[in-house]
Amino acid sequence: MTGFVRLFSAALCVAAVLATGAAVADDEGAIKHRQAIMKAVGGHMSAMAAILQGRVPFKEDLKGHAHAQAELAKIAEKVFPLGSDFGETGAKPEIWAKPEEFKQAVTAFQAETEALVKAAEGGDMGAFGAQFRKVGGTCKGCHDSFRQKR
Amino acid sequence: MTGFVRLFSAALCVAAVLATGAAVADDEGAIKHRQAIMKAVGGHMSAMAAILQGRVPFKEDLKGHAHAQAELAKIAEKVFPLGSDFGETGAKPEIWAKPEEFKQAVTAFQAETEALVKAAEGGDMGAFGAQFRKVGGTCKGCHDSFRQKR
């Protein structure tokens, strides 16, 4: 981000905070925490992918990963507070500019991970694999719209 | 790893496999899965750290993170199969050369994360923080002995 855009964006944010009072005290902390959550999400997703691809045999772990992912999806809705759009983040301004659209993306992630838990409890590997791909679709959908390309 | 050391190490491993039959079919898959598990571990640890440091206010999430961490610690004991010491890995040969010592390190991680779950269920933040530091100690202890410096 250029200095000017940053400053302008900061001014907008201050205005938004004054308007809503919903900013966080520790923007950098909020970003670090968000990145930790996304790291955990990525770790569980990759572990499940390796199991589903048959690269490791640990099918017994899928339920635990699915549960963890559903918990993380619930957390995801609170890790983009106003004010956490600065600094070392790949989060796009669209998250805060299009809050309804962003909320839909997070809600889809939550719904599909909840369905993943149910599929894990059902024990049908085919159904679990299909549902896993739906979860992956919600990751991709959200990242395509709301995360900087890397 | 140099070509020679690699080759020598490969020969040793083949010998070990012939001796035990315990190697994995897909070494690279095993490494990718292990790294995914460690990524999830790191994500949950960093998220808890941010909460305990007061950088984000999400104390209600500690129990879920602790549960996930205890599950991952159980998984940790099976992610270092014979044959997964090649390629893009920071795992040291000592893991396989000193299996008893390594097992102790993993068992300590499991015991301390189980205690973390109990601390989370107890609800005393001071006790949770103290136990979290013990878990961190087991991460560091294992990494100091069994992971390449990065």
- How far apart (Å, rounded) are the C-alpha atoms in residues B11 and A61? 32
Q: Are the Cβ atoms of A64 and B71 closer than 8 angstroms?
A: yes
**What pLDDT, in 10s, does the model give residues A17-34?**
333 334 456 889 999 999
Residue found under tokens 């070494």: B27
- How far apart (Å, rounded) are the C-alpha atoms in residues B111 and B127? 16
- Cβ-Cβ contacts under 8 Å between A and B: the total is 115
Q: Are the Cβ atoms of B37 and A43 closer than 8 angstroms?
A: yes
Ordered per-residue pLDDT tens for chain B, 150 residues: 344 444 444 444 433 333 333 445 688 999 999 999 999 999 999 999 999 999 999 999 999 999 999 999 999 999 999 889 888 889 999 999 999 999 999 999 999 999 999 999 999 999 999 999 999 999 999 999 999 987
Nearest to B39 among A26, A42, A61 (CB): A42
Residue B71's closest chain A neighbor by CA?
A64
- How far apart (Å, rounded) are the C-alpha atoms in residues A140 and A58? 25
Contact B117, B131 (CB under 8 A): no
Q: What is the pLDDT of residue B13?
A: 40
Smallest CA–CA separation between A104 and chain B, in Å?
Answer: 22
Contact B66, B127 (CB under 8 A): no
Q: Are the Cβ atoms of B26 and A56 closer than 8 angstroms?
A: yes
Contact A15, A22 (CB under 8 A): no
Q: Is B67 helix (H, G, I), strand (E, B) or coil?
A: helix
Q: Which of B26, B31, B33, B59 best probes binding to A when mutated, by most A CB atoms within 10 angstroms? A: B33
Residue B28's closest chain A neighbor by CA?
A55
Q: Which residues from A are below 8 Å from B when comparing CB atoms?
A: 24, 26, 28-30, 32-33, 35-47, 49-51, 53-56, 58, 61, 64, 67-68, 71, 75, 78-79
Smallest CA–CA separation between B139 and chain A, in Å?
Answer: 16
**What pLDDT, in 10s, does the model give residues A34-93?**
999 999 999 999 999 999 999 999 999 999 999 999 999 999 999 999 889 888 899 999
- How far apart (Å, rounded) are the C-alpha atoms in residues B52 and A3? 33
Nearest to B78 among A35, A46, A58 (CB): A58
Q: What is the pLDDT of residue A88?
A: 84
Kindly list the residues from chain B whose CB atom is less than 8 angstroms away from the CB atom of residue A60. Answer: none
Residue B64's closest chain A neighbor by CA?
A71
Kindly list the residues from chain B whose CB atom is less than 8 angstroms away from the CB atom of residue A30. Answer: 55-56
- How far apart (Å, rounded) are the C-alpha atoms in residues B25 and B47? 34
Residue A37's closest chain B neighbor by CA?
B43
